[in-house]
Chains A and B, each alone.
Chain A
Amino acid sequence: GAVVSQHPSWVICKSGTSVKIECRSLDFQATTMFWYRQFPKQSLMLMATSNEGSKATYEQGVEKDKFLINHASLTLSTLTVTSAHPEDSSFYICSAREPGGSYEQYFGPGTRLTVT
């Protein structure tokens, strides 16, 4: 149980274009999902908390107009990197939390974004 998928697993895009990354909880409903960014050999940096049916909560320093998050259903959250630039190249990972008392987060396999 508690499987989270991400799509695509990797994407290469040109500078100035937008890229959408999907995060799905496959066998449970997730009222809360988290989006992280990870640079090589570094820890996970929380970008935003995605809540089903409401606006995402962004961490300080993360541009909400650049990283659009939509949590339209209990099993799907999307992250859209708008007007991507080479410095947006990174490993993006989502996680989902099961509702109820457990606060364990289950992570997706990540999406490698390369902006040329």
Chain B
Amino acid sequence: GQQLNQSPQSMFIQEGEDVSMNCTSSSIFNTWLWYKQEPGEGPVLLIALYKAGELTSNGRLTAQFGITRKDSFLNISASIPSDVGIYFCAGQIVNTNAGKSTFGDGTTLTVKP
């Protein structure tokens, strides 16, 4: 089955710094999704990507769908303490697997004020 490698596993940064994390896959996906999960909560959708090469922003967040369709990255600019959480990437092969997503293992972000 599909596997996603998400890195880094964790990040400890200073407030104001930029953050970059990525996911790579052994399989081709045609949808990439990025989620943020805070403790005791369900994941919240941040950005959805549908086309290879697509670059999409949501406030200070920017995500790109890799040209090879096997990778995606998420950048957070000028981090703030409320950015703390676990960020998950998820890939889908549309029209197969009933729309199931394959999730990465997550990147835990800690922001020091």
Q: Which of B31, B43, B88, B98 contacts A57 (CB 8 A)?
A: B98
Residues in chain A near residue B100, CB distance under 8 A? 34, 46, 49
**Contact B44–A107 (Cβ < 8 Å):** yes
> Looking across the interface, which residue of chain B has its beta carbon closest to that of A2?
B45
Residues in chain B near residue A95, CB distance under 8 A? 42
Residues in chain A near residue B90, CB distance under 8 A? 105
> Looking across the interface, which residue of chain A has its beta carbon closest to that of B106?
A43
CA–CA, A106 and B100, complex, Å:
12
Residues in chain B near residue A32, CB distance under 8 A? 98-99
Q: Counting CB contacts under 8 A, is A44 at the interface?
A: yes
Q: Return B10 CB to nearest CB of chain A, in Å.
A: 10
**Contact A43–B104 (Cβ < 8 Å):** yes
Interface size on A, residues (CB 8 A): 26
**Contact A103–B31 (Cβ < 8 Å):** yes
Q: Counting CB contacts under 8 A, is B59 at the interface?
A: no
From A32, A43, A112, residue with most partner B Cβ within 10 Å: A43
Known A43-B103, A49-B100; judge A104-B48 contact (CB<8 A): yes
> Looking across the interface, which residue of chain A has its beta carbon closest to that of B9?
A41
Q: Counting CB contacts under 8 A, is A76 at the interface?
A: no
Residues in chain A near residue B99, CB distance under 8 A? 32, 97, 103, 105
CA–CA, A29 and B13, complex, Å:
40
Could you list 19 examples of A-B contacts with CB < 8 Å?
A4-B42, A42-B106, A43-B105, A44-B88, A46-B101, A49-B100, A51-B98, A91-B40, A103-B31, A103-B94, A103-B99, A104-B33, A104-B45, A104-B48, A105-B45, A105-B99, A107-B42, A107-B43, A107-B44
